[in-house]
Amino acid sequence: MALLKIKETLKQLRFPFLLTVLLLLLPFTGLFIYNKVEERQRRTYDQVLKQPVVSRTLKIEPGKPFTNTVGMKFVYIPLGKFTMGSPPGELGRTELEYQHEVVISHGFYLQTTEVTQKQWTLVMGKNLSKIIGDNHPVEQVSWLDAQKFIRRLNLMEAGGKYRLPTEAEWEYACRAGTTTAFSSGDISAAGSDHDPNLDRVGWYWGNSLQTSHPAAKKEPNAWGLYDMHGNVWEWSQDWYAGWYNKFTQGVAVVDPRGSLKGRQKVFRGGSWFSGAEYSRAADRMRARPDTRSYGIGFRVARSE
């Protein structure tokens, strides 16, 4: 009798048990399928990079704005010096934003917007962004993906000198001669609250409606650069080093390049899903160079 009862109990439990197991495995199955699909799509980047390119010559008048062969607009950023980092008491400040004087000894060109999905597709042939729109910033691109884009762009233009900006160059260009948290003024809000100064120049949690937006829909800074605050974070060239600014506090450094090696790359500027404090000119973020997110993109610099 006892054996029969056990068999009946197992029969009754079998279906719910199997259903529970299936429900538990479903998220992992979905993730496995997603990763396989993404891996297959990512291979197209490598395939595109192997294809021959037609190299075009681009005439650039020194120190003047220009538009390159795939529609990327650039302005000239003059040499100069500025105070990198944030002052004590700035809302959202971290201890890794030590203030120090930086000299940018060479002018350079910087793209007026983040790389758009249309521009990315013209160079790489495949757009894997999550929020689709030709004029929206490209996202879901790692630091390594950005390097592939730049290498191919340099092949597409004879004598191309495209690269990512250094962390110091990025902040220098973002500030455009200002000393406040944003190029448009001081910060007064954090988290999901609205900040009136940031509203003028950037998309962040307080005004984005939880999505990225087309490039150049907010006010530019004094040097004609759009979306330096918010929309998507932007990769810089540098390795992250938490100690870097601390040891240069009070010392003027020329054309700093960050750490010589590391495990994480710096990205700057805040995103559509971050609070106002992350869009400050001095805010520093970092991630592994293979990290991808729908909140991280990049803009391109070009040496003289």
Q: What is the separation of C-alpha 50 from the centre of its chain, rounded to a whole number of angstroms?
A: 25
Quick: pLDDT tens for 222-281.
999 999 999 999 999 999 986 555 555 556 899 998 888 899 999 999 999 999 999 999
> Residue 218: pLDDT band by 50, 70, 90 thresholds?
very high
Q: 91, exposed or middle or buried, with CB in 10 Å at 0-12, 13-18, 19+?
A: middle
* Per-residue model confidence as pLDDT tens digits over 159-169: 889 999 999 99
Q: Which pLDDT score is estimated for 32?
A: 53
Q: Average pLDDT of the chain? A: 88
The string of DSSP letters for 212-251 reads ---TT-S---TTS---SSBSSEEEEEEEP-TTHHHHTTTS
Beta bridge partners of residue 83, listed in sequence order: 101
Spatial CA neighbour of 240 closest among 299, 295, 283: 283
* pLDDT tens digit sequence for 45-56: 566 667 767 778
Choose between 119 and 9: higher pLDDT. Answer: 119
pLDDT in tens, 57-109: 898 999 999 999 999 999 999 999 999 999 999 999 998 898 999 999 999 99
Per-residue confidence (pLDDT) for residue 6, from 0 to 100: 53
Inter-CA distances, 57 with 50, 69, 162, 212, Å = 21, 9, 14, 33
How many whole angstroms separate alpha carbon 207 and alpha carbon 21? 42
Cα–Cα nearest to 285, from 265, 260, 261, 255: 265
pLDDT for 3 beyond 60? no
Confidence class for position 196, pLDDT limits 50, 70, 90: very high
- Per-residue confidence band for 34, with pLDDT thresholds at 50, 70 and 90: very low
Nearest alpha-carbon partner for 150 in 111, 176, 112: 111
Per-residue pLDDT at 15 exceeds 60: no
Q: For residues 99 and 97, what is the distance between their CA atoms, to the nearest angstrom?
A: 6
Tell me the average pLDDT across 202-224: 98
**What does the chain come to in residues?**
304
Q: What is the mean pLDDT of residues 130-148?
A: 97
Q: At what angle do helices 117-124 and 143-156 cross, to 10 degrees?
A: 70
CA atoms within 13 A on the CB side of 82: 25
Residue 21 has pLDDT above 60, yes or no: no
pLDDT tens-digit map of 178-190? 999 999 999 999 9
The β-bridge partners of 297 are 234
- With cut-offs at 50, 70 and 90, classify the pLDDT of residue 25: low
The SS3 call for residue 211 is coil
